[in-house]
């Protein structure tokens, strides 16, 4: 099958999976421009990439170990890393179906009414779900447990006040203040200041990923997967202006290896369609409502057996069930 035939097949598949969009379809030349960028970027990386060792290990969403000893049992927390080593030169551009879905999500975000935000307000996010915890018992056996990730969080839009987190009915102020914010701990003002041109936005995210997860960094995550992780975190955990959200979706469409999963279910039990990226037997999925292209949540699914479970195990899943801008920490509207 030729490249043109495969792309046409992918677009037809996407059309069958998604109902007609309630907003304008992406212009064909926009999709084509995205793919031209993919090919140019992959060629650049193939020419500039230096050889790397064969040793692979998980990064931020792989295996992050934090040992705590209590009653003779060591507890290892798995913050399942969406990160992966740098993509090899033959990783294909994002599929046509994923580009179309991400463009629909961008258009939906761009048409969302703009909220006027002022100093003293907070961005509010409510999530449900779980992460995985690997616990070593006294007998030395490993037991995989689920850690509840249901919480509400209020973050000062300008980073001047402490973040309030409510979990299992208990409120606590997180140490320090966010300040200006950054890619790993964004404030609304930080997100609002990001470039809205997808290429410039991805460059900023990739520059950070390359510095911390690229060649010579001793990280095995890799900039492509780390960029996908970062964008997913910003979309899930932050409240941003419509144009910033749209730009994040379009930037994700520039990352090689992104594809579509026709059927996925979020932590709240809502069914949708997912944009996904796979690494080392783990598939990270951003789940969207099929009718509105609104982001529902994110999950990681095992595609092969490993220490964390059997094929098909959902090792982490977080759904967004509420978000917005509020006047005071503790309020939900």
Domain ranges of the chain: 3-54+84-129+149-326
Measured CA to CA, the distance from residue 100 to residue 20 in angstroms comes to: 12
Measured CA to CA, the distance from residue 93 to residue 286 in angstroms comes to: 18
Q: Give the model's confidence band at 252: pLDDT under 50 very low, under 70 low, under 90 confident, else very high.
A: very high
User: With 70 as the cut, is the pLDDT of residue 43 above it?
Assistant: no
The pLDDT score that the predictor gives to residue 237 is 87
Residue 249: count other Cβ atoms within 10 Å of its Cβ: 26
Q: What average pLDDT does range 86-109 have in this prediction? A: 87
User: With 90 as the cut, is the pLDDT of residue 140 above it?
Assistant: no
Question: CA nearest 222: which of 53, 42, 85?
Answer: 85
Measured CA to CA, the distance from residue 233 to residue 298 in angstroms comes to: 9
User: With 80 as the cut, is the pLDDT of residue 51 above it?
Assistant: no
pTM of the model: 0.76
Residue 204: count other Cβ atoms within 10 Å of its Cβ: 15
Least confident among 1-5, 25-29, 57-61: 57-61
What average pLDDT does the structure give for the chain? 80
The pLDDT score that the predictor gives to residue 61 is 32
Number of H helices, E strands in the chain: 7, 12
The 10s digit of each residue's pLDDT in 166-194 is 999 999 999 999 999 999 999 999 999 99
User: With 70 as the cut, is the pLDDT of residue 123 above it?
Assistant: yes
Residue 161 near residue 110, CB atoms below 8 Å: no
The pLDDT score that the predictor gives to residue 47 is 39
User: With 80 as the cut, is the pLDDT of residue 53 above it?
Assistant: no
Determine the straight-line distance between the first and last CA of the chain, rounded to whole angstroms.
Answer: 52
User: With 50 as the cut, is the pLDDT of residue 54 above it?
Assistant: no
Measured CA to CA, the distance from residue 132 to residue 280 in angstroms comes to: 17
Which residue has better confidence, 16 or 163? 163
Q: Give the model's confidence band at 28: pLDDT under 50 very low, under 70 low, under 90 confident, else very high.
A: low
Q: Give the model's confidence band at 13: pLDDT under 50 very low, under 70 low, under 90 confident, else very high.
A: low
> How does DSSP classify residue 159?
S
The pLDDT score that the predictor gives to residue 213 is 73
Which residue has better confidence, 72 or 13? 13
The pLDDT score that the predictor gives to residue 29 is 56
Residue 178 CB-density burial (10 A; 0-12 exposed, 13-18 middle, 19+ buried): buried
User: With 80 as the cut, is the pLDDT of residue 215 above it?
Assistant: no
Q: Give the model's confidence band at 20: pLDDT under 50 very low, under 70 low, under 90 confident, else very high.
A: low
């Amino acid at each position: 099958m030729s490249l043109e035939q495969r792309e046409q097949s992918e677009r037809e598949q996407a059309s069958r999976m998604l109902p007609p969009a309630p907003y304008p379809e992406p212009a064909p030349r926009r999709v084509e421009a995205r793919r031209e960028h993919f090919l140019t970027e992959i060629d650049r990386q193939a020419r500039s990439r230096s050889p790397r060792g064969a040793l692979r290990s998980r990064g931020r969403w792989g295996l992050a170990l934090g040992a705590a000893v209590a009653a003779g049992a060591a507890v290892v927390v798995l913050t399942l890393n969406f990160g992966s080593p740098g993509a090899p030169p033959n990783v294909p551009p994002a599929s046509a179906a994923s580009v179309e879905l991400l463009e629909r999500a961008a258009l939906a975000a761009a048409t969302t009414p703009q909220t006027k935000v002022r100093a003293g307000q907070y961005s509010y996010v409510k999530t449900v779900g779980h992460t995985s915890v690997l616990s070593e018992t006294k007998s030395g056996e490993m037991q995989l447990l689920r850690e509840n990730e249901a919480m509400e969080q209020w973050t000062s839009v300008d980073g001047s006040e402490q973040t309030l987190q409510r979990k299992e009915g208990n409120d606590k102020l997180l140490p320090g203040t966010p300040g200006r914010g950054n890619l790993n701990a964004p404030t609304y003002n930080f997100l609002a200041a990001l470039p809205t041109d997808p290429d410039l936005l991805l460059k900023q995210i990739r520059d950070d990923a390359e510095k911390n997860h690229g060649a010579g960094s001793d990280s095995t995550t890799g900039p492509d997967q780390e960029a996908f992780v970062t964008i997913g975190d910003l979309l899930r955990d932050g409240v941003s202006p419509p144009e910033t959200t749209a730009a994040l979706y379009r930037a994700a469409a520039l990352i090689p290896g992104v594809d579509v999963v026709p059927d996925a279910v979020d932590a709240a039990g809502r069914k949708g369609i997912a944009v996904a990226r796979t690494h080392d037997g783990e598939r990270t999925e951003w789940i969207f409502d099929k009718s509105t292209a609104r982001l529902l949540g994110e999950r990681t699914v095992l595609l092969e057996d490993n220490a964390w479970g059997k094929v098909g195990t959902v090792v982490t899943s977080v759904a967004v069930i509420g978000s917005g801008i509020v006047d005071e920490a503790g309020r939900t509207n």
